[in-house]
Structure 1
Amino acid sequence: MADPHHASDAHDDYVRGSQEISEQVSTFHLFMNMAKYGSLAIAAALAFLVIWFMPHGSFFGGLITAVVMMVGGVWFLRPKSSH
């Protein structure tokens, strides 16, 4: 059975600002990077497919567009340098 919880013990269980948050911070940064670069990859793939399959479109036109989008997106989404 679980230990009973008493109101007199509750004030010692949590102390504001004393918990280690490095795992939460790293998980947040991982999620943000996956969201940014995943969205970029989806946008580039969508542009590639639209340009390839449009009337009078071409594979190489779509490929060039996707590569330019990926290079530009990685350039703009990279972390800012801290001086």
Structure 2
Amino acid sequence: MASEYHRGEMDISEQVATFNLFNGLTKWGSLGLAALLALLVLWFCTPAGFLAGFVTAIVVTVIGVVVLREKPGSGH
């Protein structure tokens, strides 16, 4: 069967860019939601108050940035 499709010859740079964007938004969005959730739960649902929630949110954010950032040489 003759076909115009030849495996491995397509330019997939747009698909790769979309995949990387989606992964980045998912990763950093999840971190932001986790920090916001920690702040709001400690502020409104415990007697710890705003300051404890804010400090916890900052700690979660800092640890998350350290863990989730791109490592050098991690490309495939």
- Number of residue-to-residue matches in the alignment: 74
What's the Cα RMSD here?
1.6
- Partner Cα separation in structure 1 for residue 46 and residue 22 of structure 2: 38
Unmatched tracts of structure 1, length 5 or more: 1-7
- Partner Cα separation in structure 2 for residue 74 and residue 13 of structure 1: 45
Unmatched tracts of structure 2, length 5 or more: none
Q: Deviations over 1:7-50 (max 9, x none)?
A: x7xx3321110000111111101100100111111111011000
Q: Which amino acid aligns with 1:75?
A: V
- Partner Cα separation in structure 1 for residue 9 and residue 68 of structure 2: 33
TM-score between both structures, scaled by the size of structure 1 = 0.81
- Partner Cα separation in structure 1 for residue 71 and residue 24 of structure 2: 13
- Partner Cα separation in structure 2 for residue 60 and residue 67 of structure 1: 11
Q: Which amino acid aligns with 1:14?
A: Y
Paired position in structure 2 for 1:50: 41
TM-score between both structures, scaled by the size of structure 2 = 0.88
Larger radius of gyration: 1
